[in-house]
Structures are given as C-alpha cells and as structure tokens.
Amino acid sequence: MTQHLRAAPDDVSIVLCGEAGQGIQTVEQMLVRVLHRCGFHVYATKEYMSRVRGGSNSTEIRVSSHRVAAYVDRIDLLVPFHAQAFKHLERRISADTVVIGDKERLCAHCPQDVGRFVDVPFTRLAQDVGGKIFTNILAASLILGLFRADESTLREFIRHRFSAKGEEVVEKNFQAVAMGYAHGIRLLESDDVRVSAAPTRKGAPEMLLNGAEAVGMGALAGGCNFLSSYPMSPSTGVMVYLAGKQKDFDVIVEQAEDEIAAVNMALGAAYTGARALVTTSGGGFALMGEGISLAGMIETPLVVHLAQRPGPGTGLPTRTEQGDLDLALYAGHGEFPRAILAPGSVSQAFTLMASAFDLAERFQIPVFILTDQYFMDTYVNMSVPDISGMSIERRTISAASDYQRFRMTANGVSPRGIPGSDGLVGVDSDEHDEDAHITEDLDLRTRMVDKRLKKLKGIMREAQPPELVGALEYSSLLVGWGSVYPMVVEAMARLGYPDLAFLHFSQVYPLHLKTAGFLKAARRLILIEGNATAQFGRLIKREIGMDFHDKILKYDGLPFSVEEITKSIRTSLAEE
C-alpha cells in the first residue's frame, strides 16, 4: 500500500525525535542545508529539554515546493530515535502519520492509530557501517533519498562537516550516506512511501538563516561594532555569530563576567561613539535594570536584544514565550523614553536590527529588540536582503570648547559629542544641568525630565507602521506582535474568510499614530499573543483605551501552531 506524505500536494512535515546526545541537531542541519541547496523551500524548528543527555527532543522540518515559515502540529513523516518519542509526540501523531524506524525496537510502543510503520533497521545498518554513531547520518540520507536530493550535494556537505576528523571518518560517513540514500530510493521505487514536494526555487539565490543569525547579520548592517554579553539561552547564538565575524567586520565581542558588567561595558563603548549591542534573555535583562536606567539619564544610545523564554525565575530555560514585554516596557527606575521592536520574520529581524541602531542614535535612547526561543532556533530560506539603499548615518559631532552635552533643544535631542575633541563631553548619573554638572535645582530637574520625554513624539513619528494582512475592508481584526506572524498568516489562508484581517506590530512601543484607526475600523477585535496576561493587549488598552472581544493566549512553553490558531479563530468568530 502506498502512503502519500502530504497535507497539501507539495508540503511535507517531517519530525525527528530522540534523546539529547543522539545527534538530532546533526540530522536537522544536514537535511535543511542539503535540501535548501537542492532547490527546495525549507523550514525547521526545534523543541528541546533543559538537559545535556536523555529526555526527548524533537525537530520539525517542512519541505515544500512553495515558501513555508510556520510551525504545524501535523506530522506526515516521523523518524523516532527512541521509544519515548511516541509518548512525547502523542497529541501530534495521527492516522496520516507514517513512521520510519526500527520496527523490532519501536513497534510495541507505537500508537495503534498511526498511519503506517515502515521498517528500516537503522541500528543494524549503522553497526554494519561502524557503530551506532552512524544512525543519524543513515536516517538523514534516507530522507534525502525520498526527495531524490542531489547525492553529490549530500556528499559535499559530509566532506565539509567531517573533513577535520580525517579521511577515514569521511569515508565511513560516505558509506552511511550511500546506504541510507539507497534505502530511501528503494522505498520510493517500491511505492512504500511517496512524497510530492519538488525543488522549485529558481532564479536569484536565497539564504538559509535562523533567527539568531538574522539578528546578528542585521546588527552588522546597522553598523554594530561592539557587543558585550554574558551567555544565556536562547540569546547566546547572536554572540556566537558576531564573534565569528570579528575580523571580517571589525566588531569587538566581549564576554563579560555577568550581565551587570555587560550593559555597563556597552554604555562605555557607546559613550566613545561605538554602536553597541547587548544580547541577553529575561533573567539577564532583569540584572541590567540599573544600567538601562543609566542609559536613560545620560542619554546614551544602546541596543539590547532580549530573547524571551518562560519565567519567572529560571522557568523553562529552553522553551518559548512572549512574556517579557512588560519587563522591557518598564525596565529601569525613573521615567525616560525607549523603543521596543519585535520582528515577525527572519527577514524582518535583519531590517529591524539595522534600523534599531539608527533609532537609538537618532534619539539617544535604549532600543529593545524582542525575540523568543522559537524565533531564535527557527530556520527558513529567504531572499538575499537588498542592502543597496541601506546606509549608516552617524550623528556625532566634534565637541567645541563651549560644548554642552545636555543642551536644551526643541525636540529634546542634544548634539552628541564624543571624547577627544576640544570640549568636555561630560555625563553624570545624577540629575544634571546642560553641562553635565550635578544639580539640585528643582525647576531645572523638571525641565530636564520634560526634555528627555519630548523625544517620544519624535519616536512615534518615526515608528514602524503595523502591517495589515488580509481584507482591507474587514469586520474582524486579529492583532499580534513578534513571532506569531507566520502562524497567523497561514491560519488565515486556511480559513479564507473574506472579511478577516491581521494587524501585526513589529514596533510595539511607542505605538504607531495610526493604531487607533486600524482598531476602530473593526467590529470584532481578537488578540493573539504568547503569554498569560495579554501584555500587549493591556498596553493597547492603556494607550488607546480599547479592549479586545477575545484573547487567544498560549504560555505552555511551545509556540502556537497553525492548527490551533485556525481552530481558535474559528471558535471565536462562531461565538459572535
């Protein structure tokens, strides 16, 4: 009996599941990169437990003839590397799921309603090659055989990956590749399994990036030349990426002793004229509160990338959530302006990061970029960004002898000098006068607070407008921010409602001036965000005075899936 792997004719969802340490990530990297090079559209994301060994981790890979960018519950093809995979994924396995694996070891644990179990004795085949270590290469090669991926591209990947370990290791992996690929072809030719996705990408070359790489690349495009951070999952990937680019882009990367040192080090670099970045996660960001407040007082531009994960405390350190919007919104004691950006796609992460440095320097404020674990660990293929119109505009001046660092201006932004000129470039964490001298003149204090807060008007005028997807004349409006974007867009396409639209915010604070108009045009407002208390919804109510008719919230540590958003929207609209 032939089992066709498809929900759509050209879209296959593959899930690999095994223990930490079994090489799931190796299989993901091999499949995604080889399929991408062979012309398929690919998407991959992972969920993993906070442990070095054991547990159950899984990776979802969508292979398609068209662009895909969203997480789905659906599993068309499951490759389990241990018996616990079935329990771990039980809510996602259906009668349409095909399992490929070692039947003797795994079949007893497989759910009754699984579509089909295709027996491939990976353990025995790996032993024939040289040991269990080759199981993941065999599995990856078999899947690539199912898609008839170019075998020479596969071998090229293997040589690049393992050449440092010597020719003998490369040859052993070549044996595993040949064996696995041949099994995949045999499954196709015997009609045991058939896939429909085809390599359709043509024309201009595309990039394969995950969220962390896109954030790092965007920082470089924005002129970032200094990063100081302390490693913390899931933000560390940005530091790793930029550390690998130090020589090519003349960027300094410093691993500080803690997050307090990291933010103050970045402020010191920014004081001297650097475009400084800090990357961190919730617990680390919490430690930076005093430094962020210092940035507000000394009006020094700073970009902070906050990769969210579930709290409070250590929470679920390897899972995802949009739970830190309030943290970014209210971080730092006292009142001072800030901006908060949240990309909804990998390509948007590149452009927003680049613009964040300009925004921070233009208004001399801290700018926060909010992503999350799901976003950071997700790979998609994307068009090569057009950087022809991008430029880095520096807004520093040479300080003359009569220079005043905090001179009063109509828009609240003082000319920014940097040390080394004739004038004194003073800064002070106490309230100060225009020359940066400490003051307790209470009238001057009021004027200085007003001066700093004036910047908000300019930031609002420069705000990234929300993106409207769907019907221009809508009666129901979905509202979301950050990483929910691709799942909501795909869910809307499935529903096909002619009077439904989605308003996505990539700048969540300050809100764009047209926000109220978008919201008031809808008869029904539905909020979608990944936290328990509707943080963005409460921000909109505070700023605009409007509440939502329904809220679709998720905070179990996993991302929204297309299916659950589709179901929730349908249920919400049916209740009108």
- DSSP calls for 88-114: HTTTT--TTPEEEE-HHHHGGGS-TT-
CATH number at residue 322: 3.40.50.970
Within-domain flag for 202: no
Helices (H), 147-288: 151-162, 167-189, 211-221, 236-243, 246-249, 259-271, 282-287
For the chain, the farthest-separated pair of C-alpha atoms sits apart, in whole angstroms, at: 86
One domain for residues 444 and 475:
no
The single-letter DSSP state of residue 414 is: P
200 Cβ neighbours under 8 A, 6+ residues apart:
10, 39, 40, 41, 65, 66
CA distances from 110 to 27, 60, 102, 125, 268 (A): 22, 19, 11, 21, 58
The alpha carbon of residue 377 and the mean position of all alpha carbons in its chain are separated, in whole angstroms, by: 6
One domain for residues 308 and 289:
yes
Q: Quick: pLDDT tens for 309-331.
A: 999 999 999 999 999 999 999 99
- The tokens for 436 are 């940066």
Residue pair 483/377 in contact (Cβ under 8 Å)? The answer is no
Whole-number Å distance between alpha carbons of 89 and 56: 9
One domain for residues 353 and 259:
yes
Whole-number Å distance between alpha carbons of 47 and 545: 37
Place of tokens 């010191």: 268
* Residue 533 reports pLDDT greater than 60: yes
Whole-number Å distance between alpha carbons of 212 and 379: 9
One domain for residues 117 and 41:
yes
Within-domain flag for 515: yes
Q: Quick: pLDDT tens for 402-443.
A: 999 999 999 999 999 999 989 999 999 999 999 999 999 999
CATH number at residue 506: 3.40.50.920
Closest CA to 452 of 571, 542, 288, 336: 336
Q: Quick: pLDDT tens for 335-358.
A: 999 999 999 999 999 999 999 999
Within-domain flag for 390: no
pLDDT at 576: 66
One domain for residues 317 and 350:
yes
Within-domain flag for 200: no
Helix (H) or strand (E) holding 146, with range, is: helix 135-146
pLDDT at 450: 98
* Residue 148 reports pLDDT greater than 60: yes
Within-domain flag for 559: yes
Identify the band that residue 5 occupies on the pLDDT scale cut at 50, 70 and 90: very low
Whole-number Å distance between alpha carbons of 1 and 76: 16
Of 383, 408, 443, which closes a domain?
383
Top pLDDT among 45 and 117 is at 45
CA distances from 312 to 79, 180, 281, 283, 531 (A): 34, 45, 12, 8, 12
Please compute the mean of the pLDDT values over residues 151-158 and round it to a whole number.
92
Place of tokens 């079935």: 86
Within-domain flag for 214: yes
* Residue 51 reports pLDDT greater than 90: no
pLDDT at 87: 92
One domain for residues 437 and 500:
no
**Residue 475: half-sphere exposure toward Cβ, Cα within 13 Å:** 5
One domain for residues 190 and 51:
yes
Whole-number Å distance between alpha carbons of 219 and 278: 11
Number of structural domains found in the chain:
4
Of 424, 444, 462, which closes a domain?
462
pLDDT at 388: 82
- The tokens for 567 are 């179901």
pLDDT at 93: 92
Residue pair 366/294 in contact (Cβ under 8 Å)? The answer is no
One domain for residues 103 and 12:
yes
As a residue count, the chain comes to: 576
One domain for residues 337 and 232:
yes
Please compute the mean of the pLDDT values over residues 272-294 and round it to a whole number.
98
pLDDT at 9: 54
Which has the minimum average pLDDT: 96-100, 227-231, 276-280? 96-100
The single-letter DSSP state of residue 421 is: S
CATH number at residue 152: 3.40.920.10
One domain for residues 452 and 489:
no
- The tokens for 469 are 């997807």
pLDDT at 7: 42
Whole-number Å distance between alpha carbons of 485 and 93: 25
Closest CA to 93 of 109, 112, 114: 114
Of 355, 383, 411, which closes a domain?
383
**Residues β-bridged to residue 500:** 476
Residue 439: domain span: 395-462
Mean pLDDT (the chain, rounded): 93
* Residue 486 reports pLDDT greater than 90: yes
Within-domain flag for 388: no
Instruction: Give whichever of 173-187, 202-216, 471-485 has the largest mean pLDDT.
Output: 471-485
Identify the band that residue 6 occupies on the pLDDT scale cut at 50, 70 and 90: very low
- Sign of the alpha-carbon dihedral angle for 532, 535, 538, 540: negative
Whole-number Å distance between alpha carbons of 430 and 424: 17
Q: Is 4 exposed, middle or buried (0-12, 13-18, 19+ CB in 10 A)?
A: middle
Give the Cα-Cα-Cα angle 50, 55, 59 (nearest 5 degrees).
80
One domain for residues 356 and 215:
yes
DSSP reduced 3-state for 285: helix
Identify the band that residue 10 occupies on the pLDDT scale cut at 50, 70 and 90: confident
Angle at which helix 236-243 crosses helix 211-221, to 10 degrees, equals: 50
Within-domain flag for 204: no
pLDDT at 316: 96
The single-letter DSSP state of residue 385 is: P
One domain for residues 183 and 231:
no
pTM of the model: 0.95
Q: Quick: pLDDT tens for 224-275.
A: 999 999 999 999 999 999 999 999 999 999 999 999 999 999 999 999 999 9
